[in-house]
Structure 1
Amino acid sequence: MMKKIWIFISLLLLPSLLPLKALQAKELSQYTAIRVQKASQFAQDEKLKEAIETLSAMELSKEYDKAFVARMLGVYHWQNSDTKSAIKELTYAVDSGLLLDEQAWITQRMLADVLLNEQRFKTALPHYYALVKYAPETEKIDLLWMRIAQAEYQIGNWSNVLKAISKRDKLKPEPDLAPLSLKLGSQLQLKQWKQAIPTLESLIVLQPEKTNWWRQLVGLQLRLNQNRAALNTLALADLQGVELSDSDRRLTAQLYAKRGIPERAAQELSKLSNAHTDVQLLAEQATYWQLAREWDTSIKVWEMASKYNAKYHWNVAQLMVQQGYYQEALVELDKVKQKEKQADVALAKVRSWYKLKELENALIHAKRAEGIEASTEAKGWIKYLTQLRRIDTSS
C-alpha cells in the first residue's frame, strides 16, 4: 500500500483568506463574498464544521460562484478528513472550467493528490497529465512526473512508468531512491534485464548496505551469462561488509570454481554456518583443496569429513600415501571398511609397506590384493617383490 502523500495547500488554494475587495475583484457576487468571508473566519478559528455549514447553506445562481465555493468546500472537507466530499467538490470546481488559470491549476493539483492518496490511480492520472502540460514556471514539474510514475506503477503500466521517470530525470538528474526503485521494478516487469543493471548499480551507490540490491544485480548478471561480473559483484559486496547469506557464499564458491580458482571456492565454503559440521560441505571443501593441490589442507578436511562418514577414510588414506605419510596411511587404511574398496586398500598398503622397506608385509598384501580381485597391478607387485626378496636372501 502506498504511503500517504502529504498534500500541501498553498495560500492560493485558500482564497477565503483574501480581503472582501479582492474577492469581489475576482467577480464573486457580493452575497457570495460576504458568506465566503464568514466561512473563512470560521476556518481560521478552527471551526471547520461551521465553515462547511456556512458554505453548504448558500443558494448560488452564478456559475463562477458555484465553482469558487466548491473549491473552498473541497479544501475544508479535506481538512476535516471527509475525503469523499472533498473529491466531489474539487472535481466540480475543476470540471467547471471557470476558475482563473492559476487557481484552476492549483485546484486540479490538489484534486489529483487527494485521488492518488486515496489510491484512485486511474482517476488521478488524467489530472496529472493535464497539470504537467500547463504547469506554471514556478512549479516543480519533476514532482508531478514522479506522481505520474507512482500511479502508473500501481496499475501496472510499466512502459508509462519508464516514460514518466525519464521526464522526471531530465528535470532533476540527481539519482534518488524512489524514482530508481520504480524504474527498476518496471524494467524487471518488462524483462529489460540489460537496462536494469545500471539502475541497480545506481541503487547500490545510494544504499550500499542493502543486500537485496547486490543480489538482484548478481541475478541479472547470471541471467545474461556475465559470470565474471557476477563474481566481481559478490566479491565487492563482501569486501564492503555486506552481510552475505550461506546461499550467496555457496554461489560465490561455484563461480570461483568455474573460473578455475578452487582454493577461493574452498575458502568461501569454509565461511558457511555449517561448514564444519555438514559432511557434504566438508567433502566439497576437501575436493576443492585437492584440486588446488593444497594436499595437507585437503587431508585435514577429509579427516574432518571421515568423522561424520567413515567412507571418507579412503580419501584420507589415498592422499596420505600420495604425500608420503606411509605410517599414518596404514593406520587410516585399516579404517576403510567398504567391501568394494578392499582390493584397492590392499594395493595401497603394498605401496606403503614397500616405501617403509617392509618387503615381507608388502608381499603379503600384494598376494591379498590378488586374492580379493585379480589384477595386472597386483601380479606385477607380487613378481617384483618376490624378486627383491630373492636378491635380499642371496645377498
Structure 2
Amino acid sequence: MKKLSLLTSALIVAASFSFSVPAMAQVNITDADRARIEERKNRKTQLPGERVGRGVTKAFELYSEEKIDEALQVLQEIRGGNDFDNAFLARFIGSLYATKDTKQAIKYLEQAVKSDLLSFADHSASLKLVADLQSMENMHKDAIRNYEAWMKFTGEQDPDVYLRIANAYYQLGDYKNVLTPIDNAIRYAKEPNKQYYMLKMGALYESKNYPKTVETVETMVQLFPEERQYWVYLGNFYTLVEDYQKSLSALQIAYNNGYLQSESELKTLGQMYANNNIPHKAAAIYEKYMKSGKIKKDRTMLNAIASNFQAARDFAKAAEYYGELAKMTNEADAYRRQGMAYLAIQKYNDAIKAFDASLAIDSRDAGKIHMSLMEAYFYQGKYREANAALQAAKRDPATERQTRSWQSYINEKARVKNISL
C-alpha cells in the first residue's frame, strides 16, 4: 500500500493538530478512599469455614468436569457459618451462574459484594463481573454504578473500564455523558486505541456537535493514517460543517491511496469536485466508475455526468451523455439539453434533431425549443426555416416578446441573401 503523504497533503492545513487530552473529571478517589484501599490490600486473608471449604472444593471438581448444575446444587445446599462464608459462597455461585443464567449471576454477585467482606482481589473481580453482566443485560445504569464502584474500590484509572462506562452511557442514548469517561479512557491508555476514538466520534456525532466530531476524526487520521474508513468519515464530516474544500482534500487522499471502494464513496468524491467548482473532474470520476460498473448507470448518474461536463464547457461530452439519458428515459428535457450542448459547439444538424425529438415528446416548453431551433437554422443560413421556427415561438406567450428583436434581424439577413420568407 502506498504511504500517505500527510505532510504535503492539502488536507493538513491543520498540521498543528494537537493530541493532548485535557484533564477530565474522573471517578473521585479521596485520601480516605486511598487509605481504605491500602488497608484492604493489606488485610489478613480470611478463609471460609471447614464445611464451606469442603463444599466449594467438591463444587469446583464438578465444575472441572463441566457438571455445572451439580456444582450449583452442592453450593446451594451449604449454609455458611458467618457473613464471610455467605459472601464467599455467593461469589462462587454467581461466578458459576455467569456461564448459564446472567440474571441469577447478578443476584448472587451483588449479594457477595454487599457485605464488603471478601478479599481485595475477590471483591474487585466480583464488582467488575457483575457490571459486565449488567451491561450484557442492558442494565446500563446499574453497570455504570458498579464500574464506578470498582474504580473507587481499587483506586485504578483503568482505560478499559472507562470505555465500558462510556459505552453504557452510549447505549442509554446519553451521548453527552459519554465524553468524560471516553476522554479518560484515551488519557490513561498506554497507546492510542481505535475503539476509544470511534466511540467518542459516535457520541459527538449523535450529539450533533459536528465541529468537535471533525476535530476528533482529524486526530484519528493522524494517529491511524492507514485506516481507510477514517478518511472517508473525515471527508463526510467536513460537509456537515460546510467545509467542502477540506472535504475534497480528505477524499482525494483516500482516493489516491485506494481507500474509496463503495459506490457511495466514489459518488461523494465526485460531488465534492462539483461543490468545489471542478466539474470536469466530477464528471470524469462518475464516468470512469460508471463504465467500470462500480457506479450504477441510471438516470441520476447520466444527468450528473452530462451536467458536470456542460458546466466544464465540454459540450461534446455533455451532448453524448444527454443523448444516453434521452435514450434511457425518453424525456423531452434530456433531448432539449442535448440540443443546447450541440448548439454550443455549432453542430447545428445534430442540435435540430435533438430539438425536434424533444418537441415530439412534450410541447410544454415549445416556445423555448422553437427559439433554439430558430438559432440552429439561423446560424446555418437557413433563414426560411429559422423564420418558421420563430413564428412558432411567437405563439407561446412565454417567448413571444423574445422573438421581436430576432424578427427584424432574420428579415434583414433574408433580404440581403435574396431569400423569400
TM-score, with structure 1 as normaliser:
0.72
Distance 2:333 2:63 in 1: 85
**Correspondence list, 1:128-167, <5 A:** 128-135=147-154, 141-167=158-184
Partner of 1:242: 260
CA separation of 1:175/1:379 partners in 2, compared to 1, >3 Å: closer, same or farther?
same
Task: Report if the CA contact (8 A) 2:48-2:84 is conserved.
Answer: yes
Residues 352 and 97 of structure 1: CA distance in aligned 2, closer, same or farther (over 3 Å): same
Equivalence map 1:171-250=2 (5 Å) = 171-201=188-218, 205=224, 208-210=227-229, 216-239=233-256, 240-245=258-263
How much does 1:142 deviate?
Answer: 2.1
Take 1:49 and 1:369, find their aligned partners in 2: how far apart are those partners? 94
State the AA in 2 paired with 1:78. Answer: A
Q: Which amino acid aligns with 1:181?
A: M
SS of 1:98's partner is coil
- Counterparts of 1:277-288 in structure 2 under 5 Å? 278=299, 282=302, 284-288=304-308
* Residue matched to 2:408: 379
Q: Residue deviations 1:88-138, cap 9 Å, x none?
A: 33222211122233332223233333333333222222221121123277x
| 2:384 is the counterpart of 1:352 | no
Please state how far the C-alpha of 1:225 moved relative to its aligned partner.
Answer: 1.6
Q: How many matched pairs? A: 352
> Corresponding residue for 1:122?
141
Structure 1 residues 53 and 232: CA distance shift in structure 2, 3 A: same
Asked if the contact 2:186/2:193 (under 8 Å) is kept, the reply is: no
Distance 1:299 1:64, change over 3 A: closer
Superposition pairs of residues 30-69 of structure 1, within 5 angstroms? 30-69=50-89
Structure 1 or 2, whichever has the larger Rg, is 1
Q: Does the alignment pair 1:296 with 2:320?
A: no
CA-atom RMSD in angstroms: 3.8
Contact 2:348/2:376 (CA < 8 Å) preserved in 1? no
Contact 1:366 1:382 in 2 (8 A): no
Identity %: 22
2:64 and 2:298 map into 1 onto residues whose CA distance is 72
Query: Bigger relative contact order, structure 1 or 2, given CA contacts below 8 A and separation 6+?
Result: 2
Q: Measured at CA, do residues 94 and 330 of structure 1 come closer, stay the same or move farther in structure 2, by a change above 3 Å?
A: closer
Change beyond 3 A, Cα 1:37–1:192: same
User: Any stretches of 5+ residues in structure 2 without a counterpart?
Assistant: 1-43, 395-402
1:112–1:124 Cα contact (<8 Å) kept:
yes
Shift of 1:254: 4.3
Give the structure-2-normalised TM-score: 0.68
The aligned amino acid for 1:188 is Y
Aligned-partner SS, 1:375: helix
Unaligned runs of 5+ in 1: 1-23, 354-361, 391-395
1:169 is matched with 186
